[in-house]
Structure 1
């Protein structure tokens, strides 16, 4: 179909709004966290046994290197908290901040959080804050907003001390009108409408694994390390109510077998079960009370990782080097069906669990396939043109996090994936497209080109309508676009303001979400430079 149409955004340049070199997105070669595509460029060739018949697809350009990297270079000196235990704290602010050109400098340390007796959990309750950070007050989010543009609702800067090596900011969760982020040794709740701090939970060690989603009633289980030394292990589980910040149970993950070193963990939640997989064993615990419901560590095929949601799906690794996808009963950990991955192929990602949609790669053949399974584990469809598709996925050396991709959406009828950016035919830089695939056949239903040197990424689907994020550039603000079930003309539902374009564009490989008519951008990595406040979370809405 024709490229998406975009309203002009060319406000007059004002003093202080000149392009800022500190906000420049880094080049690909600067990024140590970029995710290589699961399958290199090139065609499929004939499908291997087990994938079903091939489907025809329109030609695509070559796969380009990943863009919008997930981090930037920089050294940091941090302020270590030195806390013991899980502590519910009030989020306190301090003065002496200056919004400079491209960074936010501070001349005063933050106030120390309160702790409980002997470092144990303080009395539960919502944390309170003294008000917005000075850097947040210094930035007028409405300045430069043009007629017809919507609002930047808030910009949150990081308030958590991080070490010199930096820290990950994991996940983004929603419970009622609260949005939640994990930062280093803390889990923090903010008002989804105004960004005001609601509560904060501190752990004695860094958060080391989180599930991508919580329970239907707003509970989450977080894994943290048992200390701050280099020998600290990722073995502490804590249940947190995302609505209030109240902590429930905390327990140490028991070792399963003689070689359980608690390394390379990943987590998933389905129903009342949270899984904790690591290098070797896997365990399942009840979210409600923390009781262990299953463990796997002795078998020819063991769970490597789980994908959660409305169903629980396990990726099994076998002694002979083969892999399997297995439907799993969350209450017992027992398999309900099994799909044997064809020889030589490996599972890169699980995009959905109902229906199951998996991304496979074959390193030797340099092939890639996206496969849709039936409820019983048989091949339902093979997606056309998978070699040209590239969602934004996280980076991992040893662990197999199956659900750490953004920019992929699955609803009852369609799978939506972005293509890899390619040179724009009109010479506007690199552009990509969103492609909708029929889950029943794997064939392309429609394709929407971003055009104008822009990138577009699927965000959410509600009532058969796809909502996609048209990323900001250095001179154009982002938009949230609605695309109907038949594609057609994209309709902007949020036009982000021109005055915050450079701030929006400076989020590098962020997590994003579109919830209740609001769009959220979330940082995935903090550098921790001493005296510099960094962006953490930004929201847009009406």
Structure 2
């Protein structure tokens, strides 16, 4: 049967911390209610180990030297910024919650995963919208033969299904020859009747009901940047490398209609100076604006035409290094030209780039992740003191509350890049932040904590149970939708709904036992979506060794 999940082989070991720190800082508890988030020294918990092939990502803050040619993304020499899908739809690192096997730092200086638009955009822009928990009918499971078409003589993945369990709708595999380090496959979008997946140098659209291929786009180079956010009519912007070398610049923007597979305009990202190169980038979408965030620069373009609107290369003051959009709002993350090189959050007009408000972080603090843009919810930390706080800001940029609760929280940004948006372990809706904790004291089970963004107090926690981990997917319509990973590979996971006011979870989808559960549990650092009663899970990297590899799996009624 399916072997346990393994990280891609032949990748260099992770570097040690932000910039040139000698090692990873410790995880910290969030300050208690009423405490100064910039003054308290929290207790620490033991560090888990990082899996091979995942690179720690720096927090956002002080400018770094330009990207080192040939260096893996996230290594010293690259400035941390919201760059990559998660966000993309966050690629959720289940290993962090299920087995605590990745390196995490106070405030996320070691951040892994996809993911994926910030939390409020996860339901809106990323497609994980539980609009209807009763999907249309689907034929029997369609398995893959390595071509990605789902045909061939394969084992029946529903063979071990027990009474009351739902089923695998279809399954896709892929067979790709590539470099020893593998190829990226981070993008996943569910738009209309299509689920679209990145596969190295291609985008492939599948029918959500039966997995039949609808369209395929082949590109001359790898996709190096994407966001799970889309426009209202189902378009998104991806970035391609300008060549096949390890040092190729991530500079080619392309507009894609995800519903039809049609290509729109193609543009080259404007280079702001001689050092403005990057091997990855992260686009962020709001309205008719897409911001392209790279290692030391950020520029906003008009989606309808591809024309440049404004840039973060302002003449003086605090220079934005990233623009992040969501829920019709945009913020800038800027480095200030003072002696302390402090970090500033700015309210930005997405059509003009003008500032409407500013919020200055305390000396030494950086932004680890952006959980939401409207309302603004940020995770900040100090790499030297190991202090951390999760804060909500009002529409005028003034502090509303600092989140506080016992336990340590996953910071799962990056999506294989140094993005800060699209953390796949959080969701925001109705003035509430839902955040996944790390398993405590060696346990497998974790919790989700619901925070009131007005008071900073914890409203409720999901009860601990036999399941190995629980991950927020989307929050809307008065409920939180989450994925409960099974405690063992012989039992399928579940999609559950938790009332916004708290209470016992209701199971919406119970994935089958048997062969299907072994495949489901073997997805390493997967992309997750629950849309219209269907659950989609896919890989974020392919080993590309010429052998059949699991790619994409769909569950439903």
CA distance in 1, matches of 2:551, 2:411: 22
Asked if structure 2 preserves the Cα contact closer than 8 Å seen for 1:69 and 1:508, the reply is no
Aligned match of 2:322:
305
Residue 289 of structure 1, CA deviation? 1.1
CA distance in 2, matches of 1:300, 1:450: 48
Equivalent residues in 2 for 1:108-257, closer than 5 Å? 133=149, 137-158=153-174, 160-257=176-273
Equivalent residues in 2 for 1:27-426, closer than 5 Å? 40-43=26-29, 62=45, 65=48, 133=149, 137-158=153-174, 160-297=176-313, 298-310=315-327, 311-320=329-338, 321-385=341-405, 388-394=408-414, 400-423=418-441
CA distance in 1, matches of 2:214, 2:16: 33
Asked if structure 1 preserves the Cα contact closer than 8 Å seen for 2:256 and 2:262, the reply is yes
1:149-201 Cα shifts (integer Å, max 9, x gaps): 00111111125543332011122222111111222212221112222211111
Aligned match of 2:503:
488
Q: 1:34 to 1:208 in 2, by over 3 A?
A: farther
Q: 1:497 to 1:221 in 2, by over 3 A?
A: same
Asked if structure 2 preserves the Cα contact closer than 8 Å seen for 1:222 and 1:237, the reply is yes
Once superposed, what is the RMSD of the aligned Cα atoms?
3.4
Count of matched residue pairs: 456
Q: 1:67 to 1:439 in 2, by over 3 A?
A: farther
Aligned match of 2:520:
504
Q: 1:366 to 1:21 in 2, by over 3 A?
A: same
Aligned match of 1:83:
none
Aligned match of 1:452:
466
CA distance in 2, matches of 1:520, 1:165: 25
In the alignment, structure 1 segments of 5+ residues that lack a partner are 1-18, 73-128
Greater alpha carbon shift after TM alignment, 31-40 vs 381-390:
31-40
CA distance in 2, matches of 1:478, 1:357: 29
Greater alpha carbon shift after TM alignment, 405-414 vs 136-145:
136-145
Name the larger-Rg structure: 1
Asked if structure 1 preserves the Cα contact closer than 8 Å seen for 2:451 and 2:458, the reply is yes
Residue 258 of structure 1, CA deviation? 4.1
Q: 1:352 to 1:252 in 2, by over 3 A?
A: same
CA distance in 1, matches of 2:391, 2:175: 42
TM-score by length of 2: 0.74
Aligned match of 1:436:
450
CA distance in 2, matches of 1:306, 1:190: 31
CA distance in 2, matches of 1:33, 1:483: 38
Asked if residue 541 in structure 1 is aligned to residue 556 in structure 2, the reply is yes
CA distance in 2, matches of 1:140, 1:132: 17
Residue 533 of structure 1, CA deviation? 1.3
Asked if structure 2 preserves the Cα contact closer than 8 Å seen for 1:419 and 1:433, the reply is yes
Greater alpha carbon shift after TM alignment, 44-53 vs 340-349:
44-53
Residue 278 of structure 1, CA deviation? 1.8
Greater alpha carbon shift after TM alignment, 132-141 vs 480-489:
132-141
Residue 212 of structure 1, CA deviation? 3.0
CA distance in 2, matches of 1:61, 1:492: 35
1:254-298 Cα shifts (integer Å, max 9, x gaps): 222344334542221111111112233321111111111112324
Asked if structure 1 preserves the Cα contact closer than 8 Å seen for 2:31 and 2:404, the reply is no
CA distance in 1, matches of 2:249, 2:284: 19
Q: 1:536 to 1:263 in 2, by over 3 A?
A: closer
The secondary structure found in structure 2 opposite 1:503 is helix
Q: 1:493 to 1:358 in 2, by over 3 A?
A: same
Aligned match of 1:109:
none
Asked if structure 1 preserves the Cα contact closer than 8 Å seen for 2:147 and 2:175, the reply is no
CA distance in 2, matches of 1:356, 1:540: 34
Q: 1:68 to 1:418 in 2, by over 3 A?
A: farther
TM-score by length of 1: 0.76
The secondary structure found in structure 2 opposite 1:521 is strand
CA distance in 2, matches of 1:325, 1:457: 28
The secondary structure found in structure 2 opposite 1:256 is coil
CA distance in 1, matches of 2:293, 2:7: 34
CA distance in 1, matches of 2:324, 2:153: 41
Residue 300 of structure 1, CA deviation? 3.6
CA distance in 1, matches of 2:481, 2:215: 30
In the alignment, structure 2 segments of 5+ residues that lack a partner are 56-144
Residue 306 of structure 1, CA deviation? 2.5
1:479-535 Cα shifts (integer Å, max 9, x gaps): 1111112221111111000021110000112121111111111211111112x1111
1:77-110 Cα shifts (integer Å, max 9, x gaps): xxxxxxxxxxxxxxxxxxxxxxxxxxxxxxxxxx
Q: 1:131 to 1:228 in 2, by over 3 A?
A: closer
CA distance in 2, matches of 1:474, 1:31: 28
Residue 394 of structure 1, CA deviation? 2.9
Residue 430 of structure 1, CA deviation? 2.0
Q: 1:375 to 1:141 in 2, by over 3 A?
A: same
CA distance in 2, matches of 1:535, 1:220: 25
Asked if structure 2 preserves the Cα contact closer than 8 Å seen for 1:511 and 1:521, the reply is yes
Residue 381 of structure 1, CA deviation? 1.0
